[in-house]
Amino acid sequence: MLHLRMIVPQGDTDEVVSLVEGTVGATHLAVLPGAARSPRGDIVMCDVAREAGDELLRALRRMGVADAGSIAVEHIDLSLSARADKAEEEAPGEGADAVLWESLTDATHEESTLTATYLAFLALATMLAACGVMLDSAILIVGAMVVGPEFGPLAGVCTGLVQRHARLARRSLIALLVGFPVAMVLTGGFNYLMDVLGVFSVSDFTAPHPSTAFIWQPDASSFVVAFLAGIAGILSLTSAKSGALVGVAISVTTVPAAANAALALSYGDYRELWGSSAQLGVNLAGIVIAGVLTLLAQKGFWAMQRRRRSVSRPA
What is the DSSP-derived secondary structure letter of residue 250? Answer: T
- 297-306: long-range contacts (C-beta < 8 A, 24 or more apart)? 298/99, 298/238, 299/99, 299/162, 302/54, 302/93, 302/98, 302/99, 305/92, 305/93, 306/55, 306/92
pTM of the model: 0.81
What was the pLDDT predicted at 315?
Answer: 47
CA 78, 110, 222 angle in degrees (round to 5)? 95
CB 124 within 8 A of CB 140: no
Is the alpha carbon torsion for 65, 153, 170, 227 positive or negative? negative
pLDDT of residue 44: 96
Question: Are residues 117 and 30 in contact, defined by beta-carbon separation less than 8 angstroms?
Answer: no
Q: Helix or strand or coil: residue 302? A: helix
Greatest Cα-to-Cα distance within the chain, rounded to the nearest angstrom? 79
Cα–Cα nearest to 57, from 87, 26, 11, 32: 26
Contacts of 272 (CB under 8 A, 6+ apart): 216, 260, 261, 263, 264
pLDDT of residue 247: 62
Calpha distance 248→234 (Å, rounded): 10
Kind and range of the H or E run holding 46: strand 40-48
Please count the other Cβ atoms lying within 10 Å of the Cβ belonging to residue 271. 9
Q: Give average pLDDT by consecutive 10-residue segment, the chain, 315 residues.
A: 92 93 90 92 93 86 90 87 87 68 74 89 95 92 90 90 90 94 96 92 89 87 91 81 61 89 93 94 94 90 67 53
Q: What is the pLDDT of residue 311?
A: 57
Question: What is the predicted pLDDT for the residue at 78?
Answer: 83
CA distances 149 to 63, 177, 180, 238, 311, Å, are 36, 14, 11, 18, 43
Radius of gyration (C-alpha) of the chain in whole angstroms: 24
Give CA–CA dist 121/143, Å, rounded: 12
pLDDT at 54: 82
Q: Residue 313's pLDDT is what?
A: 54
Please give the pLDDT value at position 240: 58
Q: What is d(CA 154, CA 147) in angstroms, rounded to the nearest whole number? A: 15
Collect all residues with Cβ–Cβ distance below 8 Å to 67 and sequence separation of at least 6: none
Do the beta carbons of residue 290 and residue 231 sit within 8 Å? yes
Question: What is the rounded CA–CA span in Å between residue 307 and residue 313?
Answer: 10
Q: What is residue 248's predicted lDDT score, i.e. its pLDDT? A: 66
